[in-house]
């Protein structure tokens, strides 16, 4: 025996699905905005470096983007130690006040960069290494740094795969 479905029942079901879809979409959008807020302004903290345990290693790095627009500082680049695969990612960007020597750790996210591995691939050697997880992106609103004006140097805190290395990039910016 077939059950007859009323048009009003179908309309009510459709309204329910639309409402659930819009509520779910709104929740996802709010979570995305909150995570974006944290990545740009949250997570800023003072940092005291430990003694480096990797004196004998030489890192390769590059800052491919550095921009200070208004009160937003954004940086991106990559860093790795030649001859080591990156299996566990843990790189952060530090800002060091050149006058006081104090460090500030800013929010940093990993960027997956296949082009770094491809660039350093050498067909003439037996073993090549995976540097895909060498990329990073950092952004912070400078008014959230709670720091004194002056010149700041960009430092890469490289902690991938149990390494601990401060990479002084020589790149600086002025904080008014």
**Per-residue confidence (pLDDT) for residue 24, from 0 to 100:** 66
Q: Tell me how far the alpha carbon of residue 31 is from its chain's centroid.
A: 18
- 8-state DSSP, 128: -
Q: What is the dihedral sign for C-alpha 158, 164, 170, 171?
A: positive
Q: What H or E segment, with its residue span, contains residue 60?
A: strand 60-69
Tens place of pLDDT for every residue, the chain, 176 residues?
566 666 666 667 767 767 667 766 676 665 555 455 545 545 677 787 777 655 557 899 999 999 999 889 999 999 999 988 888 888 999 999 998 899 999 999 999 999 998 999 888 888 889 999 999 999 998 887 776 788 999 999 998 888 888 999 999 988 87
CA–CA separation, 97 and 83 (whole Å): 32
- Is domain 45-175 given the CATH code 3.40.50 in the classification? no
Residues 6+ apart with CB under 8 A from 14: none
Domain locations in the chain as residue ranges: 1-40, 45-175
């Amino acid at each position: 025996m077939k059950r007859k479905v009323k048009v009003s029942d179908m309309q009510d079901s459709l309204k329910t699905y639309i409402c659930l879809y819009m509520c779910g979409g709104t929740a996802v959008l709010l979570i995305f905005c909150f995570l974006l807020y944290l990545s740009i302004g949250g997570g800023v903290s003072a940092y005291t470096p430990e003694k480096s345990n990797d004196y004998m290693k030489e890192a390769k790095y590059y800052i491919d983007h550095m921009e200070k627009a208004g009160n937003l500082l954004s940086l991106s680049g990559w860093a790795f130690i030649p001859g080591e695969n990156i299996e566990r990612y843990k790189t952060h960007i530090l800002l060091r006040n050149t006058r006081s020597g104090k460090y500030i750790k800013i929010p940093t996210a990993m960027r997956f960069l296949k082009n770094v591995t491809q660039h350093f691939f050498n067909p003439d050697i037996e073993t090549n290494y995976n540097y895909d997880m060498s990329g990073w992106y950092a952004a912070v609103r400078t008014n959230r740094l709670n720091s004194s004006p002056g010149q700041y140097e960009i430092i890469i805190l490289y902690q991938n795969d149990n390494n601990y290395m401060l990479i002084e990039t020589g790149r600086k910016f002025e904080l008014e």
